Amino acid sequence: DLWRGTATQMRGPIPVGLVGHDENLFQYQQDLEKARELLADAGYPGGGFTLKIMHAPVIPEWRPMALVIQEGLAEIGIKLEIESYAWATLRDKLNTGDFDMSHGYWTPDYADADMFTWFWFYSQNWGLAGNRSWYKNVVMDKLVTQSRIEVDPDKRLAVFQGIQWIAVGDAVYLYLLQTDYQIVMRDWVKGYVYNPMLLNMPNFPGMYIEK
């Protein structure tokens, strides 16, 4: 509802449309009983602690999304405080690890699954380099490195599948949604070419008006 029908829930780090996307990945759903069980196993029966989530007003949907998360966590006894920061401050906190939870988004600079694996999961990319969960897993490091040197397409695809299953199993991030980019133009605007790597940089030299 928050995205007015222009987004779908993601299954993992590699989005629909890129080679390597795995439609068979486990997809998390709300399961309050399982959540309570996991909390108890971790030594927090009934929750009883506070987390903070930060967002920046530059993305207006982030605050209402945080409110939904807050409501869900309250059902298992976890208090979530919502913090709003200027974009520059939020990025500074991401870079230093000074946060509990944060909203974020990622668009590709090049059309390859590497864009969503190397930066997000490699342990030497902590902070603004991409690994904003400050995640470290020796097996994951080996896999993402292998994905960058494997030249056989089928073998490389298998590596990406392994990366995704580990990432989802470790819950490195919550892959909330993939948005459908909305482009509005008059019917007399011609020559536009959609490029998911350059969402906010239209190919103006190739566009023209036809009236």
Write out pLDDT tens, residues 154-192: 999 999 999 999 999 999 999 999 988 888 899 999 999
Q: Is the pLDDT higher at 88 or at 197?
A: 88
On whether residue 35 sits in a domain, the answer given is: yes
Whether pLDDT at 40 is above 80:
yes
Pairing assessment for the beta strands 78-84 and 49-55 based on DSSP bridges: parallel
On whether residue 207 sits in a domain, the answer given is: no
Task: Work out the burial of residue 175: count CB atoms within 10 Å of its CB; fewer than 13 is exposed, 13-18 middle, 19 or more buried.
Answer: buried
Check residue 203 and give its pLDDT. 86
Are 51 and 101 contacting, i.e. CB atoms less than 8 angstroms apart? Answer: yes
Check residue 109 and give its pLDDT. 87
Are 52 and 81 contacting, i.e. CB atoms less than 8 angstroms apart? Answer: yes
**Range with the poorest average pLDDT among 13-17, 130-134, 202-206:** 202-206
On whether residue 202 sits in a domain, the answer given is: no
On whether residue 208 sits in a domain, the answer given is: no
Check residue 188 and give its pLDDT. 96
Check residue 124 and give its pLDDT. 96
On whether residue 121 sits in a domain, the answer given is: yes
CA 198 to chain centre: 18
On whether residue 73 sits in a domain, the answer given is: yes
Are 106 and 116 contacting, i.e. CB atoms less than 8 angstroms apart? Answer: yes
Neighbours of 20 (CB within 10 A): 22
If one counts the domains in the chain, the total is 1
On whether residue 156 sits in a domain, the answer given is: yes
Which helix H or strand E contains 7, and what residues bound it? Answer: strand 7-9
Please list, in sequence order, all residues whose beta carbon lies within 8 angstroms of the beta carbon of residue 191, skipping any fewer than 6 positions away: 203, 206, 207, 208
The CATH number covering residue 116 comes to 3.10.105.10
Check residue 201 and give its pLDDT. 80
DSSP 185: -
On whether residue 190 sits in a domain, the answer given is: no
Check residue 142 and give its pLDDT. 98
CA distance 122 to 162: 14
Which range marks the domain in which residue 93 is found? 7-180
Write out pLDDT tens, residues 52-109: 999 999 989 999 999 999 999 999 999 999 999 999 999 999 999 999 999 998 888 8
| Mean pLDDT across 23-41 | 95
Nearest to 78, CA basis, from 52, 112, 113: 52
Write out pLDDT tens, residues 108-149: 889 999 999 999 999 999 999 999 999 999 999 999 999 999
DSSP string, 106-121: ---SSSSGGGGTHHHH
